[in-house]
Structure 1
Amino acid sequence: MKQSVKKWLSIMLTMVVVASFVIQPIKVDAAFDLAAESAILVDGKTGKIIYSKNIDAILPTASMTKMMSEYLILEAINDGKIQWEQQVPISDFVRNLSLYTSLSNVPLRQDETYTVKELYQSVAIYSANASTIALAELISGSETAFVKMMNDKAAELGLEDYEFVNSTGLNNSDLQGNHPDGTGETAENMMSARATAKLAFHLINDYPEVLETASIPTLPFRASESETIEMRNWNWMLPGLEPQHDYDGIDGLKTGYTSAAGNAFTGTAVRNGMRLISVVMRTGTRDDRFNETRKLLDYGFNHFSHLELVNAGFAPEGSESIAVASGKEREVAISSVDSLSTVVKNGDEELYTSELILDENVLNENGELEAPFEAGTEVGSLVLVYGGEQQEEFLYPWQRAQVSVVTDTAVEKAGWFSMTMRAIGGFFSGIWNGVADTVKGWF
């Protein structure tokens, strides 16, 4: 009896020990879903997509549209077409629209003067709709022409999923019958979250000064000599606006709301040198768009880092040199001109390798580099390759991490004597190899 009890206990103990190894919980990141119809999180330097949810659904963008208007305003400044201190005419339509307090506006008068800078600040901070149209008219002569510029620029930037019908993000029905020619009376601006992130990526990287204004929590606007409006930024994640939404490192970018779009927000924040861009579309309330943005940004900052994975001057093992044709040297060392870095999920560092891709256009049919050539001659590129389960995705294919590979030294063309001796050597080498093969055949 004791033996059978001992045997039973031994079996039970064995089963417990085995179970302790087999039924271990799998360690994964805490899953989270967003109370948003569409959302995306992107690294602001590399364009790598860190999180995505329904990112190709084309939805109304509301005032996030103004990111394109801001891009064109800053481009016009940069190109010298307009100047910051230039006065902006106020048309009858702009004057009347500015008085609609149900819309986001600062009141504009026709007997006052406003500079480009003042109106731009009201757009970037307070999402002022009439100010946006006034600047659109200044740059293009009419909002209709400006909308064409918006769509042309979107095509140039490769946004793909978009339609711009006005400069503000309002529904056309809010424009008192003055909506741009060729657009529907109830049309709204439309973009996917992916396209919106692309626009924000270009805006921040092409014109980083946009963040200097977008990050201002409050600013007075001089409507007239006797009237000043306190503009309060609609981005409540900026410090000092709504304490429950304060977010360390936030400095932009653009909110939006219409009844069709719901509450939307394109946010951006930087911590420890890493900038993230987030987009949430069709959240329920103003608070929701910031709460969901917080989840996205926290996920990015807590789980990803910028890492240098390959040093400059590197060539993969076995590919440290390439053959040279007609040169004083038979081969030349090659290496990368710069380091390779990308945003990496914590713990995934070992999943990356590098791959050398030689440019066939600079090599002859035998895969050799023809002499003569200088040091630093580009022969291909070194590309980061991710070996994880899920494929890496970027806003644009060209954003995948890669650097040029060049020759370390120059190689001069060999003289006629050297070339002749090589040919003779090659001839006798061929004869000798043929004889050797024949002799081997006898045995």
Structure 2
Amino acid sequence: MTRALPCLCDPAVCRRQLPLYGPRVRESSPLPPAARMSRRAVIGLGAAVPLTLAAPAAASPAPPASVGQGGEPGTIGGARLGRDGVQAQKTAGLPKKLTARSWLVADHDSGEVLASYNAHRRLAPASTLKMLFADTLLDKFERTRTYKVTDADLADVPSGSSLVGIRPGITYTVEQLWLGVFLRSGNDAVHVLSHMNGGLAKTVAEMQARAEDLQALDTRVASPDGYDHKGQLSSAYDLTLFARHGLKNKDFRGYCATRTADYPAGGKKTFQIQNTDRLLTGAWGLDVYEGLFGVKNGYTSNAGNTFTGAATRDGRTLLVTVMHPKSGGNGVYEETAALLDWGFAQAGAAGPVGALVTPLSEGGAKASPSPTAPVERAATGT
């Protein structure tokens, strides 16, 4: 039987009625006292995570040809990534009980894809799409800039969204808004930042343009927050591109590695928020994954669970994306951890089956999307 958990939020903000994150609000589980951190520790955490990741080496991009469904030459990232099923040079030791509809393991620095399963299958991304949102908007506003939230900023937040608890009339720093996005996956924080950027439509258009520059051509953006909308889709390949590019930004790295933070509740009051990434916090019976420092999880009733994680061990950084596992709430993290374990165990011995391509703005060769890429459980809005 699940034990009722105390609420960390200010009662005036939360009242245990705000929809937070994940099935039955399980993502809002508090950290044990030993894991909680002061605000000074939170803001200083960026120094403790691997902020000196080697700049991603230019991956060998696919030639500019139409992207095929069956692994034909021209598939973005390489022909094998266009094929169904497991793609790996060495399958020995690969986890045998994976239930995800799509997954991918890549080396962050080289961009080599070490293994994948339906890498380009288009699926509802849920809040992992916030990686693209952050990669698009992070450099637009200074961290110390302040903004007083209005009712209009929150008027179009979808019912049932995950929220950090932003309230009209309270002034927030940009840094606090981004902490709300990364830690609590707060759609209220996303919408405030979108309005600061000129509105939802402008933000969606800019996100789509950024996706196209990154050559994430499986992605269709319909909302900045990743919440279920008809036609809003991405893929394990694209989400891994978003993570890799986002991690070039030190603020992106710092935010996604932050475990807890104090959040404004009006006046001098604050309440504590914690990261919903269970491999980062060790919540809900999971162990903290050694070397993991983000990046983003997601859940909706339509998309199920999605997750992209990054971890460093023995000087090597791996990226893993897992989408739509059939197992329960911890399944997306357990399957991510298993794939990370496999990747680190290879110690460079696993040959690549493809590559994370270089953005067009950084000299990448242009490829074209597949008109027949598979679509599964397309978002319909819930």
What TM-score do the two structures reach when normalised by structure 2?
Answer: 0.66
Aligned equivalent of 1:245: 287
Spell out, residue by residue over 1:34-85, the C-alpha distance to the aligned partner (whole angstroms, 9 max, x if none). Answer: 1100000110001101110011110000000100111122232xxxxx2112
In structure 2, distance between residues paired with 1:210 and 1:116: 13
Aligned equivalent of 2:190: 132
Aligned equivalent of 2:149: 90
Q: Which moved more, 1:289-298 or 1:216-225?
A: 216-225
Matched residue count: 268
Which structure carries more relative contact order (alpha carbon 8 Å, separation 6+)? 2
Match of 1:299 among 330, 342, 362: 342
Structure 1, unpaired ranges of 5+: 1-26, 77-81, 173-186, 306-343, 346-385, 399-443
Aligned equivalent of 1:183: none
In structure 1, distance between residues paired with 2:218 and 2:333: 24
Work out whether 1:281 is the aligned partner of 2:339: no
Aligned equivalent of 2:111: 47
Report if aligned partners of 1:193, 1:281 keep a CA contact under 8 Å in 2.
yes
Instruction: Report how far residue 98 of structure 1 moved.
Output: 6.8
In structure 1, distance between residues paired with 2:189 and 2:107: 31
How has the CA–CA distance of structure 1 residues 212 and 243 changed in structure 2, closer, same or farther, with 3 Å as cutoff?
farther
Structure 2, unpaired ranges of 5+: 1-89, 360-382
How has the CA–CA distance of structure 1 residues 98 and 143 changed in structure 2, closer, same or farther, with 3 Å as cutoff?
closer
Spell out, residue by residue over 1:333-356, the C-alpha distance to the aligned partner (whole angstroms, 9 max, x if none). Answer: xxxxxxxxxxx43xxxxxxxxxxx
Report if aligned partners of 2:104, 2:320 keep a CA contact under 8 Å in 1.
yes
Partner SS for 1:83: coil
Work out whether 1:36 is the aligned partner of 2:100: yes
In structure 2, distance between residues paired with 1:234 and 1:294: 16
Work out whether 1:146 is the aligned partner of 2:107: no
Aligned equivalent of 1:161: 218
Match of 2:256 among 196, 202, 214: 214
In structure 2, distance between residues paired with 1:35 and 1:246: 22
Aligned equivalent of 2:372: none
Report if aligned partners of 2:153, 2:195 keep a CA contact under 8 Å in 1.
no
Instruction: Report how far residue 157 of structure 1 moved.
Output: 1.1
Greater strand content: 1
Match of 1:191 among 212, 234, 239: 234
Spell out, residue by residue over 1:187-221, the C-alpha distance to the aligned partner (whole angstroms, 9 max, x if none). Answer: 253111111111111111x3143121211222121
Report if aligned partners of 1:169, 1:188 keep a CA contact under 8 Å in 2.
no
In structure 2, distance between residues paired with 1:137 and 1:263: 28
How do 1:48-63 and structure 2 match up within 5 A?
A: 48-63=112-127
Match of 1:262 among 304, 307, 313: 304
Spell out, residue by residue over 1:393-420, the C-alpha distance to the aligned partner (whole angstroms, 9 max, x if none). Answer: 212289xxxxxxxxxxxxxxxxxxxxxx
Work out whether 1:123 is the aligned partner of 2:169: no
Aligned Cα root-mean-square deviation (Å): 2.3
Aligned residue identity for 2:174: V
Aligned equivalent of 2:172: 114
How has the CA–CA distance of structure 1 residues 98 and 226 changed in structure 2, closer, same or farther, with 3 Å as cutoff?
farther
Aligned residue identity for 1:71: D
Instruction: Report how far residue 240 of structure 1 moved.
Output: 4.6
How do 1:309-388 and structure 2 match up within 5 A?
A: 344-345=349-350
In structure 2, distance between residues paired with 1:154 and 1:30: 33
How has the CA–CA distance of structure 1 residues 397 and 239 changed in structure 2, closer, same or farther, with 3 Å as cutoff?
closer
In structure 1, distance between residues paired with 2:231 and 2:144: 32
Aligned residue identity for 1:126: R
Spell out, residue by residue over 1:239-259, the C-alpha distance to the aligned partner (whole angstroms, 9 max, x if none). Answer: 453452311001001001112
Aligned equivalent of 1:179: none
In structure 2, distance between residues paired with 1:255 and 1:203: 15
Aligned residue identity for 1:189: Q
Work out whether 1:396 is the aligned partner of 2:372: no
In structure 2, distance between residues paired with 1:257 and 1:195: 17
Percentage of identical aligned residues = 27
Spell out, residue by residue over 1:85-144, the C-alpha distance to the aligned partner (whole angstroms, 9 max, x if none). Answer: 2122424243456796x43212223322111111011101111101111111112x1111
Aligned equivalent of 2:374: none
In structure 2, distance between residues paired with 1:195 and 1:130: 25
Partner SS for 1:246: coil
In structure 1, distance between residues paired with 2:269 and 2:231: 33
Aligned equivalent of 2:270: 228
Partner SS for 1:162: coil
Greater helix content: 1
In structure 2, distance between residues paired with 1:154 and 1:145: 14
Aligned residue identity for 2:207: M
What TM-score do the two structures reach when normalised by structure 1?
Answer: 0.57
